[in-house]
Amino acid sequence: MTLPKFSVVIPTVDRHELLEKTIAGCLLSSYPNLEVLVSDNYSTPETAKVVESFLSDPRVHYVRTTRRLSMPDHWEFAWQQSKGDYIIINGDDDALSPRLVGQLAVIAMTLNVGLMSWDAGLYYHPDWKLSDRNTFVFMSRHSHLLFDINPHAVFAGYARLEIPSFFPQGTRICFSRRLADRAVAKTGRVFWPPYSDYSAPLLLLGLLQGERYIYWDALMGYGGRSLHSNAASLEKEGKKSVNEQRLRQYYKEFAKQDLYPHQELKIRSLWNGHAATLNLLRHILPEAFANHHVDLVALIVAIECEFRGINIHNPLLGQQERIAFDAFLKNQDAAIINRAMEIVRKRGVDDIIEAWRSGRSPIAWPVIVYLLGHFRPRALWIILLRAVKSLYFRCRHSASSLPPNPSKNTVAVVVKQRGANVWADCSSAGVHNGLDLVRKFDDIVATCDRRDLANVIDFFIKGIIRAAHEPPPANAANLEKIAE
Summarised one tens digit per residue, pLDDT across range 165-224 is: 899 998 999 999 999 999 999 999 999 999 999 999 999 999 999 999 999 999 999 999
- Angstrom distance (rounded) from CA 395 to CA 337: 38
Reported as a single tens digit per residue, the pLDDT across 306-321 is: 999 998 889 899 999 9
| Cβ proximity of 183 and 80 under 8 Å | no
Cβ atoms of 226 and 232 within 8 Å: the answer is yes
Average pLDDT over residues 385-407: 53
**Residues in the chain, how many?**
484
Q: What pLDDT, on the 0 to 100 scale, is given for residue 397? A: 44
Question: What pLDDT score was predicted for residue 439?
Answer: 98
DSSP E strand boundaries for 41-145: 60-64, 86-89, 95-96, 113-124, 135-139, 141-142
pLDDT at 133 > cutoff 50: yes
Given a cut of 70, whether residue 401 has pLDDT beyond it is no
Q: How far is CA 106 from the centre of its chain?
A: 24
Residue 280 DSSP symbol: H
| 256-282 as b/e: b if 16+ CB within 10 A | eeebbeebebebbbbbbbbbbbbbbbb
Helix 377-396 vs helix 365-374: angle between axes, to the nearest 10 degrees?
Answer: 140
pLDDT at 387 over 70: no
Residue 232 backbone class (left: φ over 0; alpha: ψ -120 to 50; beta: rest)? alpha
Q: Using alpha carbons only, give the angle 102, 167, 255 rounded to the nearest 5 degrees.
A: 105
User: Chain centroid to CA 68: how far?
Assistant: 24
Q: How confident is the model at residue 395 (pLDDT cuts 50, 70, 90)?
A: very low
Phi, psi dihedral angles at 228 (to 5 degrees): -110, 20
Q: What is the pLDDT of residue 365?
A: 43
Dist CA 111 CA 373 (whole Å): 58
In the chain, the percentage of residues whose pLDDT exceeds 70 is: 86
Decide yes or no: CATH 1.10.10.10 for domain 6-226+451-483.
Answer: no
Cβ 312 vs Cβ 231: under 8 Å: no
Query: pTM score > 0.75 for this model?
Result: yes
The model's pLDDT over 320-375, given as tens digits with 9 standing for 90+, comes to: 999 999 999 999 999 999 999 999 999 988 877 766 655 555 544 445 445 544 55
Tens-place pLDDT, residues 22-70: 999 999 999 999 999 999 999 999 999 999 999 999 999 999 999 999 9
Q: Between the ranges 114-123, 234-243, 409-418, where is the mean pLDDT highest?
A: 114-123
User: Number of C-alpha atoms within 13 angstroms, CB side, residue 249?
Assistant: 14
The residue extents of the domains of the chain are 6-226+451-483, 233-396
